[in-house]
Amino acid sequence: MSRIHEALKKAEQERAVSQGGSAHSSFATPERSELPARTIDEDPSATVATGVPSGGIPLTSAMPSFANPFGLDALLARCPQLQWKPDATMLFFNGDDSAIGTEEFRTLRSRLYHMREKMTLKKLLITSALPKEGKSFTASNLAQVLVRQHGRRVLLIDADLRGPRLHLMLGTTASPGLSDYLQGRSDEFSIMQRGPMENLFLIPSGDEISDPAELVSNGRLKFLLQRVEALFDWIIIDSPPAVPVSDASVLGKSCDGVLMVVRSNATPVDMARRAREEFPDQALVGVVLNGTNSASTPYSRYYYGASGKNVTETKS
């Protein structure tokens, strides 16, 4: 076993212990304050309106300390620290936790922790049927709200090698990044950037390439995820639209779950259905209804979509 692999394994064990889980569990037990206010009703036709969820930020879990020189902190210190200049759609960078849309992302976080009680859920693919439905918006804001919880470390990956956006939204460089790793040109620590938000790491798309479909299916992405999984509480992966190209369904096979974004008043139903069919039933953990009109809907609503999965709204 390599020293890095040994350190990763130890890091995972220490992390699990520090967060109250067993040393053998591969993800943290959800905090009590993360549990949603209501129990999930499995009736797929039900529509539930509710108030502010109990998505409080737990302050109790301490970061693990790694005494050995090949521990977690030493590994992550190898990632370049860059200046990011996030744009206005990055909701959690300006310190205003009451900005429009932030509550919906806290709600989404709560629902995901709730799902995590029932299944292994760390590597989450964000996709949608068509372009411009809010995949990158959702992936990046979800990653931010997840690290707002003390001690939670999140890796955000731009796996949309056809139309990468995360580096633009976060105001940083696109290279080196995923495509460089997939071509064997960079190692995992040189492509993982750290920005100003503690515990949020980004793997941008990397240099533009001509063969995205071949690259995402060459097996190296799965290998990458296996290598870095132990370092993070969540890995959020942004993807291209699922209907026109096959990348998202290939990426989905390396993930624990898929979150489908549907743009309010925009995504045609048959397209949403086609996108959904790209993924096995058990992989779909929920649907985000993006860009609802704040004036016409209650502050926060949840629905159960097809097959009884959660639906969370985000507002524009």
Ligand X SMILES: Nc1ncnc2c1ncn2[C@@H]1O[C@H](COP(=O)(O)OP(=O)(O)OP(=O)(O)O)[C@@H](O)[C@H]1O
Q: Does 104 bind ligand X (CB under 6 A)?
A: no
User: Which residue, 90 or 121, is less far from ligand X as judged by CB?
Assistant: 90
Q: Does 134 bind ligand X (CB under 6 A)?
A: yes
* Binds 128: which of Mg ion, ligand X, none (CB < 5-8 Å by kind): ligand X
* Size, binding site for ligand X by CB under 6 A: 17
Stretch that binds Mg ion, among 48-56, 134-142, 143-151, 204-212 (CB under 5 A): 134-142
Least separation, in Å, of the C-beta of 251 and ligand X?
Answer: 13
Q: Which two tokens stand for residue 263?
A: 């743009």
Q: Does 133 bind ligand X (CB under 6 A)?
A: yes
Q: Does 152 bind Mg ion (CB under 5 A)?
A: no
Q: Does 148 bind ligand X (CB under 6 A)?
A: no
Q: Which residues contact 42 (CB under 8 A, 6 or more apart)?
A: 304, 308
CA–CA gap between residue 165 and residue 172 (Å, rounded): 10
Stretch that binds ligand X, among 65-73, 126-134, 172-180, 273-281 (CB under 6 A): 126-134
Single-letter amino acid, residue 53: P
* Binds 127: which of ligand X, Mg ion, none (CB < 5-8 Å by kind): none
CB 15 within 8 A of CB 71: no
Q: Does 135 bind Mg ion (CB under 5 A)?
A: yes
Identified binder of ligand X from the candidate list 53, 195, 241, 252, rule CB under 6 A: 241
User: Which residue, 31 or 133, is less far from ligand X as judged by CB?
Assistant: 133
The distance from CA 18 to its chain's CA centroid, rounded to whole angstroms, is 22
Own/partner contacts of 71-74, CB < 8 Å, gap of 24 or more, are: 71/7, 71/10, 71/11, 71/14, 72/7, 72/11, 72/14, 72/15, 72/231, 74/7
Q: Does 131 bind ligand X (CB under 6 A)?
A: yes
User: Which residue, 12 or 238, is less far from Mg ion as judged by CB?
Assistant: 238
Nearest residue by C-beta to Mg ion?
136
CB 135 within 8 A of CB 239: yes
**Contacts (CB under 6 A) with ligand X, residues 269-308:** 290-291
* Binds 290: which of ligand X, Mg ion, none (CB < 5-8 Å by kind): ligand X
CB 138 within 8 A of CB 290: yes
Structural element, H or E, at residue 189: helix 188-191
* Binds 314: which of ligand X, Mg ion, none (CB < 5-8 Å by kind): ligand X
Least separation, in Å, of the C-beta of 138 and ligand X?
Answer: 7
User: Which residue, 161 or 289, is less far from Mg ion as judged by CB?
Assistant: 161
Identified binder of ligand X from the candidate list 5, 132, 253, 273, rule CB under 6 A: 132
Length of the chain: 316
* Order of strands, sheet of 123-128, starting from the edge strand that comes earlier in the sequence: 47-49, 301-304, 310-315, 284-292, 257-263, 123-128, 234-238, 154-158, 200-203, 193-194
Only one residue has tokens 């001509």, namely 210
CB 197 within 8 A of CB 90: no
Residue ranges that bind ligand X, judged by CB under 6 A: 89, 128, 131-137, 160, 163, 165, 241, 290-291, 314, 316
Residue ranges that bind Mg ion, judged by CB under 5 A: 135-136, 165
